């Protein structure tokens, strides 16, 4: 079986080179190019502090068309004022020139340290060099995947194929993220250039997706070891994700689907709940497969496949969280609303006490139940049940006798499941996080700007 990657969908080329921005010699400038104008959508951080790359990205995605993406790692181009804005536009202009398109057809991304101007000479040389070595092979996808990493220890890729009628379309993606991970992505609307104020409190139609596509998160993904990121300890990380497909789909529909998808994938992963200035998720649909996604049945299939890719990528971010020794998958069921389920799951996921207990394999259910209590959502401890790694530990407001040693041993795993059933409704949500280890403190304290 062929491993699917960013360039498995037809119509795309990519590459990455080392341009001298990262301190360690590993690719740090990358290009993803579509052979024709792709239908595109993008979701950006809803933080009030946004990188000029995000500002320019919002402008350029407004048309619903992109020819490509230009990325650098090692420098976030954030809090860099007007020069930062000029530099983000210049990145697009340089990249556009190499493929003979309009600069507004390029989406720029940057990740790395905040508050430093981009080294534009290096960036320019890097873009030109990358443009001369674009290709569609696995190696090209890996170069792109490596070039966007900062504190990540692993490359993150995913892909699936889905039958649409008698035809087949491919969906794939690549992402980065390890620390400064608490994305609050909102899809940029057509013509809208200003950041929206939307957060999580959205009643979207994504609950079905949430329930359906979960569990396949790991199946779709392949995590490859990336050994060169150790020198980037403590550098500001960000979540960047790029999704590709060779299906044909209208930009308006793509935007709608993207918000649903990010709400059940990247918006449900948290390492330290610190939304970045640069968080970005973009999708490009080349149409090269000649398959139009429009009928409700096709949209449903396409959407489920896209969720599978995005959830796999989000899961890989949690698994590679700074200092993480395990993924903690928190599922809240039986909540009154999807928003309530998400709020409760997120409250548990972001509790340092819960995260430390997970690090120490401590079946400390009191921390979990109490974290549910202050989520700001309806929650009645006297009705709920709580399971750790499938073992019931709390029911109806009182503890359940369990073998603490056995449960502790079961927590010593690559993935720990926390399942809270509120028994107050039918909504559910899953949030992925990781444990909090001394290594997280080492990475983020023992480093100086």
How far is Cα 216 from Cα 144, in angstroms, rounded to an integer?
A: 25
How far is Cα 438 from Cα 81, in angstroms, rounded to an integer?
A: 35
CB of residue 426 to a copy of itself, shortest distance in Å? 19
CB of residue 398 to a copy of itself, shortest distance in Å? 4
Hey, how many other C-beta atoms are within 10 angstroms of the C-beta on 445? 9
CB of residue 436 to a copy of itself, shortest distance in Å? 6
User: Is residue 86 involved in binding a copy of itself (CB under 8 A)?
Assistant: no
CB of residue 405 to a copy of itself, shortest distance in Å? 9
Hey, how many other C-beta atoms are within 10 angstroms of the C-beta on 444? 18
Q: Which of residues 222-251 bind a copy of itself (CB under 8 A)?
A: 234, 236
Please say which residue, 245 or 364, places its beta carbon nearer to a copy of itself.
364
Q: Which of 39, 72, 80, 430 binds a copy of itself (CB under 8 A)?
A: 80
How far is Cα 178 from Cα 180, in angstroms, rounded to an integer?
A: 7
CB of residue 360 to a copy of itself, shortest distance in Å? 3
User: Is residue 9 involved in binding a copy of itself (CB under 8 A)?
Assistant: no
Pull the structure tokens for residue 238.
């960000």
Q: Is 80 a catalytic residue?
A: no
Hey, how many other C-beta atoms are within 10 angstroms of the C-beta on 75? 26
User: Is residue 148 involved in binding a copy of itself (CB under 8 A)?
Assistant: no
User: Is residue 367 involved in binding a copy of itself (CB under 8 A)?
Assistant: yes
Nearest in space to 416 (alpha carbons), one of 324, 352, 343: 324
Q: Which of residues 409-428 bind a copy of itself (CB under 8 A)?
A: none
Q: Which of 10, 125, 274, 301 binds a copy of itself (CB under 8 A)?
A: 274
State the distance between the two ends of the chain, measured CA to CA, in whole angstroms: 45
Following CA atoms 358, 280, 162, 167 in sequence, which dihedral angle do they give, to the nearest 10 degrees?
-170
Quick one: CA dihedral 255, 261, 264, 266, positive or negative?
Answer: negative
Asked if 178 and 235 count as a contact pair (C-beta separation under 8 A), the reply is: no
Q: Which of 166, 225, 390, 448 binds a copy of itself (CB under 8 A)?
A: 448
83 torsion bin: left (phi>0), alpha (psi -120 to 50), beta (else): alpha
User: Is residue 326 involved in binding a copy of itself (CB under 8 A)?
Assistant: no
User: Which of 151, 170, 238, 245 is the catalytic position?
Assistant: 238
User: Is residue 379 involved in binding a copy of itself (CB under 8 A)?
Assistant: yes
User: Is residue 445 involved in binding a copy of itself (CB under 8 A)?
Assistant: yes
Nearest in space to 31 (alpha carbons), one of 10, 6, 63, 56: 6
Cα distances from 172 to residues 99, 158, 161, 220, 308, in angstroms, run 23, 6, 9, 9, 10
User: Is residue 371 involved in binding a copy of itself (CB under 8 A)?
Assistant: yes
Strand partners, 186: 44
Q: Which of 10, 86, 116, 292 binds a copy of itself (CB under 8 A)?
A: 116
Pull the structure tokens for residue 350.
């972001």
Please say which residue, 292 or 383, places its beta carbon nearer to a copy of itself.
383
Q: Which of residues 172-211 bind a copy of itself (CB under 8 A)?
A: 179-180, 182, 184, 199
Q: Which of 404, 412, 413, 426 binds a copy of itself (CB under 8 A)?
A: 404
Region binding a copy of itself by CB under 8 A among candidate stretches 28-36, 114-122, 250-258, 310-318: 114-122
Pull the structure tokens for residue 310.
């995005």
Q: Which of 205, 215, 290, 396 binds a copy of itself (CB under 8 A)?
A: 396
Task: Decide: helix, strand or coil at residue 277.
Answer: coil
Region binding a copy of itself by CB under 8 A among candidate stretches 165-173, 225-233, 250-258, 389-397: 389-397
Q: Which of residues 25-54 bind a copy of itself (CB under 8 A)?
A: 45-50
Region binding a copy of itself by CB under 8 A among candidate stretches 128-136, 206-214, 268-276, 289-297: 268-276
Please say which residue, 114 or 220, places its beta carbon nearer to a copy of itself.
114
Burial 317-334 (b: 16+ CB within 10 A, else e): bbbbbbbbbbbbbbbbbb
Please say which residue, 17 or 335, places its beta carbon nearer to a copy of itself.
335
CB of residue 263 to a copy of itself, shortest distance in Å? 16
Q: Which of 378, 410, 415, 421 binds a copy of itself (CB under 8 A)?
A: 378
Asked if 288 and 37 count as a contact pair (C-beta separation under 8 A), the reply is: no
Please say which residue, 290 or 360, places its beta carbon nearer to a copy of itself.
360
User: Is residue 372 involved in binding a copy of itself (CB under 8 A)?
Assistant: yes
Cα distances from 171 to residues 103, 135, 158, 162, 301, in angstroms, run 26, 18, 9, 8, 11
- Total number of residues binding a copy of itself (CB under 8 A)? 77
How far is Cα 238 from Cα 259, in angstroms, rounded to an integer?
A: 19
CA angle 102, 175, 418 (to 5 degrees): 145
User: Is residue 394 involved in binding a copy of itself (CB under 8 A)?
Assistant: yes
Please give the positions annotated as active site: 238
């Amino acid at each position: 079986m062929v491993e699917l990657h960013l360039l498995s969908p037809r119509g795309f080329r990519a590459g990455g080179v080392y341009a001298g921005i990262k301190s360690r010699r590993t690719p740090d400038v990358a290009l993803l190019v579509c052979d024709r104008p792709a239908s595109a959508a993008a979701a950006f951080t809803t933080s009030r502090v946004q990188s000029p790359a995000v500002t320019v990205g919002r402008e350029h995605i407004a048309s619903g068309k992109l020819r490509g993406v230009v990325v650098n790692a090692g420098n976030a181009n954030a809090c860099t004022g007007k020069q930062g804005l000029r530099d983000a536009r210049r990145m697009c202009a340089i990249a556009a020139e190499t493929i003979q398109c309009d600069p507004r057809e390029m989406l720029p991304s940057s990740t790395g340290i905040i508050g430093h101007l981009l080294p534009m000479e290096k960036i320019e040389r890097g873009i030109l060099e990358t443009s001369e070595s674009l290709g569609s092979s696995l190696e090209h996808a890996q170069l792109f995947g490596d070039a966007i990493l900062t504190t990540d220890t692993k490359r993150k890729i995913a892909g699936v194929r889905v039958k649409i009628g008698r035809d087949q379309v491919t969906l794939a993606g690549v992402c980065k993220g390890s620390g400064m991970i608490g994305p609050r992505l909102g899809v940029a609307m057509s013509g809208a250039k200003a950041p929206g104020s939307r957060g999580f409190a959205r009643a979207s139609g994504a609950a079905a997706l949430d329930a359906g596509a979960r569990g396949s998160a790991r199946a779709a993904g392949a995590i490859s070891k990336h050994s060169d990121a150790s020198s980037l300890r403590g550098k500001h990380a960000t979540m960047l994700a790029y999704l590709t497909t060779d299906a044909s789909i209208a930009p308006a529909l793509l935007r709608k689907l993207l918000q649903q998808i990010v709400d059940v994938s990247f918006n449900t992963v948290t390492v330290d709940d610190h939304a970045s200035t640069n968080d970005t998720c973009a999708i490009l649909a080349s149409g090269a497969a000649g398959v139009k996604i429009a009928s409700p049945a096709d949209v449903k299939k396409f959407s489920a496949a896209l969720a599978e890719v995005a959830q796999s990528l989000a899961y890989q971010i949690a698994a590679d969280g700074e200092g993480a020794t395990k993924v903690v998958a928190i599922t809240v069921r039986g909540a009154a609303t999807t928003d309530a389920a998400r709020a409760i799951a997120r409250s548990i996921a972001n509790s340092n006490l819960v995260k430390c207990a997970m690090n120490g394999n401590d079946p400390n259910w009191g921390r979990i139940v109490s974290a549910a209590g202050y989520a700001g959502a309806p929650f009645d401890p006297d009705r709920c049940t709580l399971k750790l790694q499938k073992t019931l530990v709390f029911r109806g407001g009182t503890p359940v006798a369990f073998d603490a040693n056995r449960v502790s041993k079961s927590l010593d795993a690559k993935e720990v499941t926390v399942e809270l059933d509120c028994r107050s409704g039918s909504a559910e949500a899953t949030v992925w996080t990781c444990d909090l280890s001394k290594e997280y403190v080492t990475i983020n304290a023992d480093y100086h700007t």
